[in-house]
Structure 1
């Protein structure tokens, strides 16, 4: 596939430009299960007064946020009772109370249930207007002597794109300490927008049908998503730790705008951002670190002495506007490579902002956990293409084949091909950390300076990746595990006539730090951390277009601690 240099590289452009495969390892029978997506188990059916289920989130060692929404029988204030118990029958109640909700907060309820014990499973339930909610299950953060931590990692759940079978599979896992949703929990498009081709047949047409702009719009979209039984089931089964990406607001959001937001047509972006932010805090089980600054959601969670999890906002609070590759061509279609490289590396360009960067360094420096884990939205790994490919001189397929031929027989390439092979690589997905390289180097130097073992978790691209993280000097500083989407389409449509195994081999050849890629399936990650290693299992479903599906663990990789390790390697049997 040839890359057109004038095309501004947004996320879906990036998806079209890259490809990957399922077949780097075979799927074992032990990792396969057949399921039906109906939201079974915890939270499978709710009373009329609680049509959006229950959820928990932001667990600490002694507390957790409990969430629900009341469907009112009539307008007005509603008293809601809550209970926490140590048993699933709600007989051994250890905490309870009452709160009031109203239309002012869209009848949502959030309770910070305190006085709990570390590393314990608890059950909770709400009651209002004669109805009781389903019973949810949650757990507090691991104790100091915990031996391992298991996290489920999700991204990019697009309601009209398909059923939430990924959530259904995760809800059946009974040993997850917490779920991380690292962005694009909802999508803001109109009903005829992105990935809606099958929505009518699936009964999943977006509501409201218009583009989300007002608070009421965002509230209705969250309500539609939270009516899904599989999403309700996974929320009822485990606590969530969340951050937003762009589609909770608008496509390719940055600090003061979005690529899709036209002020003349839609009004000030600040008003839209405030509406989206308000609905997010109403509908998500998140604890606000600072009530006076609800846009500051970066925060840390310590899982015993194993993991310090730092949830970052790479989208809203500090990000400068994305660069555009097309801006670096002059009137004669000559590309200014030097200026381009200077700009993507400029120390003036910020991804997370100075305040958040200083906060992160403080958290990292004080942490004594074996692993520093960054839960954030966009790819941190270098996903740079050969300049000859970016400039359209040679397509990806031919370049990869040329590289293999040259390795086998250097005499078979001509002078022009030698120039291609020896040329620089260029970033082309400028919405990721590749477009904010000074901030990335600062994070890498932070981890090196404090001698930390770093694992980065990412989403955003709808595809699964594993990459080694190296600084500008080529020094190994950590690894990145990136999850596929819950339902948003990936790059499988970019190469419909090619074997995905061949495409995967091509991508690994093209992108030097890339170790693994899988783009033809929807799925999530299960990340298991211990003092000895962090292991990532990529779990996929075979369809999002039917309720009946098969789930498989497709690939497992790990990283070991210590300065001589901190790189991706195969898991041992």
Structure 2
């Protein structure tokens, strides 16, 4: 028999941060809703959502939209059946403009590994029902997640969310950040926003609490996002655009002079995040700490990290290491800074918490849910510093190889290779040859490549206990699969990164034409050590299916984000598998 939820349980959970949500103990008797809520009529226009499931609890969320300001009474019901004849929890609370009319309920005392139905009521309005589920406990055979990130409202329709909402076998949706974007109307990836009817609200860049609340309200009006929230519990972390582009602990690339105090902006942004997302805070009023773990039986321990706002030092910038006289990179100074043992992305407290979690966990798989790529993405310096494009580098490298073979008298040079050399050999200038001879350096200093020492600490922790380590990432708007190796070259784990919901990727930034995508993807996989897969073009998600023997990752893409009439792009879909104990990647059928 399941033990009843007690006041001692409540006090213990309050210490872990459930105080910011109304705690639902179980059945509380009949609701006393007034028919008209004292004359303040309200509707449920932003759907329902659930999140942060545990073995016996889950956060339930909604927002009411009142006809005029004032306090609104809202009640809820949780049942084991869609008809709500088998109620297990109910209650009522008040909401107001102080919390943007959002409601968060921590439904406790539930059974592990079970699906539930829930709904809200206010006055004479009843919301559509929604579904959620608790985490399984003990021995389990499998678990499956959809992983999403980077949804830019004006860039296109949220067809990726729609695709995920049609999946019936998910245990949770893991959202790795950039749930919203902070840019003003007409800015980043807004070329077709007016045509699609997706111009952002408010019109300006987000600065105040009201601004962020309005933008969340617009996002949550999207029917595809509402469908997904209403079907599967979310486990979320933020990235940078929930505040401002390329954020760190004390600032952001997109927070400029004249835009006020960054800390005040960040505080407003994170308050809105906690109001609008079904996330359980550590304690009431704490809107900064979101690292936490979720235990899926004896199979998966999911550790969600904040690599962005809590402890991150300011990202390095290659521009600060370029010699203005020679145009070259000051390699010695750059390497000294990037390998600084004091340089942190997580911060001391979060790093210690993660190490303890990794060392003490007994689940088959240890999964790090976080924002940015952990795998080393080392590219030739000429490419990383954008002095040469990938095609230009490839052409020069081929020409240099042909020239060297010709000078050595290589008899295997073909007529076509000699002809190619005669046509384009003039490009092998001394300047070009110097660029080819530059070493490989990190491509993206905003990722773990810019925080190399701390990455080694994490990998060493997992390696010391021979953990089955899986890292998942978003942020780049492209899909990746990496084999994670430490500085000694030892395989420690694998990394899977998801594409974006709608934000454009490298094909946008580098101007890669569709006809050149496959060749460019192959070139990058060839150039980057330990990189097994990339997709540089398509919007999509990935699903992770865990068993005790393996984890399978399926990257799934939509054929368009510019029409609600879309199909799954099965020709671009791809799957990989890693076996327990192997730390390697193989393509799956």
TM-score (normalised: structure 1):
0.88
Indicate yes or no: 2:528 matched with 1:511. Answer: yes
Match in the other structure for 2:260? 267
Q: Is 1:480 the counterpart of 2:498 in the alignment? A: no
Cα distance in 2 for residues equivalent to 1:376 and 1:52: 27
Is 407-416 or 187-196 further displaced after alignment? 407-416
Are the counterparts in 2 of residues 182 and 242 from structure 1 also a CA contact under 8 Å?
A: yes
**Is 2:576 aligned against 1:557?**
yes
Higher mean C-alpha displacement, 49-58 vs 69-78: 69-78
Segment of structure 1 superposing worse, 283-292 or 456-465: 283-292
Larger of the two Rg values belongs to structure: 2
SS in 1 for 2:242: coil
Q: What are structure 2's unaligned runs of at least 5 residues?
A: 1-40, 409-427
Query: Does the residue aligned with 2:586 lie in a helix, a strand or coil?
Result: strand
CA separation of 1:365 and 1:527: change in aligned 2, threshold 3 A: same
Match of 2:583 in 1: 566
Query: Per-residue displacement from partner, 1:522-557 (whole Å, max 9, x unpaired)?
Result: 100111111011110001000000010001450000
Segments of 5+ residues of structure 1 without an aligned counterpart are 1-46
**Alpha-carbon distance, 1:428 to partner:** 2.9
Tell me which of 172, 194, 198 is aligned to 2:192: 198
Cα distance in 1 between the residues matched to 2:123 and 2:467: 52
2:309 match: 316
Partner of 2:226: 232
Aligned to 2:335: 341
Q: Distance in 2 between matches of 1:319 and 1:99?
A: 38
Q: How does 1:182-197 map to 2 (within 5 A)?
A: 182-197=176-191
Give 3-state SS (helix, strand or coil) of 1:499's partner: helix
Superimposed CA distance per residue, residues 76-110 of structure 1 (whole angstroms, 9 cap, x where no aligned partner): 11111101111122221111111111110000000
Shift of residue 74 of structure 1? 2.6
Q: Deviations over 1:33-55 (max 9, x none)?
A: xxxxxxxxxxxxxx961000000
The alpha carbon displacement at 1:410 in A equals: 7.3
The DSSP-based 3-state class of the residue aligned with 2:240 is coil
Check the 8 A contact 1:166/1:522 in 2, yes or no.
yes
The answer to whether structure 1 residue 286 and structure 2 residue 279 are counterparts is yes
Q: What's 1:444 paired with?
A: 459
Distance 1:413 1:102, change over 3 A: farther
Please give the root-mean-square deviation of Cα atoms over the aligned residues, in Å: 2.1
Rounded Cα–Cα distance in structure 2 between residues aligned with 1:289 and 1:277:
14
Q: 1:250, 1:429 → 2: CA distance?
A: 18
Partner SS for 1:550: coil
Cα contact 2:42–2:67 (8 A) shared by 1: no
Tell me the SS of whatever aligns to 1:330.
coil
Matched, 1:171 2:165: yes
- Does 1:386 find its partner at 2:380? yes
Q: What is the Cα deviation at residue 314 of structure 1? A: 0.3
Paired with 1:216 and 1:393, the residues of 2 have a C-alpha distance of 42
Alignment partners' CA distance in 2, 1:92 and 1:397: 63
Does the 8 Å contact 2:558/2:566 carry over to 1? yes
Q: Is the 2:338–2:452 Cα contact (8 Å) retained in structure 1?
A: yes
The CA deviation at 1:413 is 8.0
The Cα of 1:396 is off from its aligned counterpart by: 2.1
Residues of 1 paired with 2:141 and 2:437: CA distance?
47
Higher relative contact order (CA 8 A, sep 6+): 1
- Are 1:328 and 2:347 counterparts? no
Instruction: Give the number of aligned pairs.
Output: 523
Whether contact under 8 Å (1:142, 1:149) holds in the other structure is no
Matching residue within 290, 307, 321 for 2:300 = 307
User: How far 1:403 moved relative to its partner?
Assistant: 5.9
Q: How far apart in 1 are the matches of 2:568 and 2:435?
A: 42
C-alpha distance in structure 2 between counterparts of 1:296 and 1:50, whole Å: 29
